[in-house]
Amino acid sequence: MLCVLLTFMEPRFLTVDNFLNVMRQSSIIGIIALGMTCVILARGIDLSVGSIVALSSIVAAAAVRAGVPFFAAWGIALLVGALCGGINGVIVARLGIPPFIVTLGMMGAARGAALLFTGGAPISGLSGAFRVLGTGSVAGIPVPILVFAGVFVLLYVLLERSVWGEQVRSIGSNPVAAWGSAILVPRITASVFMVSGILSALAGLVLTGRLDAAQPTAGLGYEFGAIAAAVLGGTQFSGGKGTLFGTVLGVLIMGVIGNGINILNVNPFYEQVVRGLVIGVALVFYGRFAARGTARVLQ
């Protein structure tokens, strides 16, 4: 509906080119939001995603500048993401500290490490091969979109077709029962945060490729975007309920709003108001549809 409205207001909105443009832009926050969805499904939250984006991309960029082959640098980035996410997960799972606090700590620590590592300056002038994740395209489809789609498929299989997915959902919907059953709650909880960390690092590589620069300040505020997309897509904070498809819709709604604002040249002072209103309207509509859906199921 939003798309129809925008097309009506500005015909240039509805072009294949602009569709790919919005998808490509949304893929970075989208990759993170998919990981965030898993975390929220397990009744967690991950505030450290933006900082992990920065730290992992900086380490990878520094490695590639130091002569490490680009694919090894990618691997290093994912490893940094896995490590940060793993630390989050182990602390949450083993020490029972609320994820909000743990990941808030990681948010500061990873950001600080990124700033320390670079002295605050960006690392730019990276090789074309390293940047492929951000700038490449296969058969006319930008690589970021392919990465996003790949992550979606992989997580969909994990979440909907594997035991792991079932366990994640049951921890989220009823942790007490999960403890009682044969599920290894700490291990599953830790793995969820690790997935979020790895995906943040992957998103960081896409971002770095697009910008041709790894910045210690990259990814500031990404946690809001990712959480908002997941919630807009119907994932519930109380855990257990939510779908990856919903999150993709949430990400695209946010992407379309930003795109529409720029295309229509909305006054910057109105931008935030417009953004807030559209999200509000979308949520109300979503609530209607969700209620109708539940009613149908009950009948």
Residue ranges that bind another protein, judged by CB under 8 A: 10, 12-13, 15, 17-18, 21, 24-25, 121-122, 124-125, 135, 207, 210-213, 215, 217-220, 258-259, 261-269, 271
d(CA 214, CA 115): 11
Nearest CB to another protein, comparing residues 48 and 208: 208
For 264, the token pair is: 């229509």
Supply the minimum distance, in Å, between the C-beta of residue 174 and another protein. Answer: 39
- 3-state SS, residue 105: helix
Nearest CB to another protein, comparing residues 54 and 93: 54
Supply the minimum distance, in Å, between the C-beta of residue 78 and another protein. Answer: 20
Q: Which amino acid would we find at residue 76?
A: I
Supply the minimum distance, in Å, between the C-beta of residue 117 and another protein. Answer: 17
Nearest CB to another protein, comparing residues 50 and 172: 50
Nearest CB to another protein, comparing residues 189 and 215: 215
Supply the minimum distance, in Å, between the C-beta of residue 222 and another protein. Answer: 9
Cα torsion angle, 243, 249, 255, 261, sign: negative
Closest of 272, 278, 236 to residue 254, by C-alpha: 278
d(CA 265, CA 28): 23
Nearest CB to another protein, comparing residues 107 and 178: 107
Nearest CB to another protein, comparing residues 16 and 182: 16
* CB 34 within 8 Å of CB 247: yes
DSSP output for 155-224: HHHHHHHSHHHHHHHHHHH-HHHHHHTT--HHHHHHHHHHHHHHHHHHHHHHHHHHHTEE-TTTTTTHHH
- 3-state SS, residue 115: helix
d(CA 208, CA 63): 13
Nearest CB to another protein, comparing residues 28 and 47: 28
Supply the minimum distance, in Å, between the C-beta of residue 137 and another protein. Answer: 10
d(CA 192, CA 195): 5
Supply the minimum distance, in Å, between the C-beta of residue 53 and another protein. Answer: 10
Q: Exposed (0-12), middle (13-18) or buried (19+): which is 38, by Cβ within 10 Å? A: buried
Supply the minimum distance, in Å, between the C-beta of residue 67 and another protein. Answer: 21
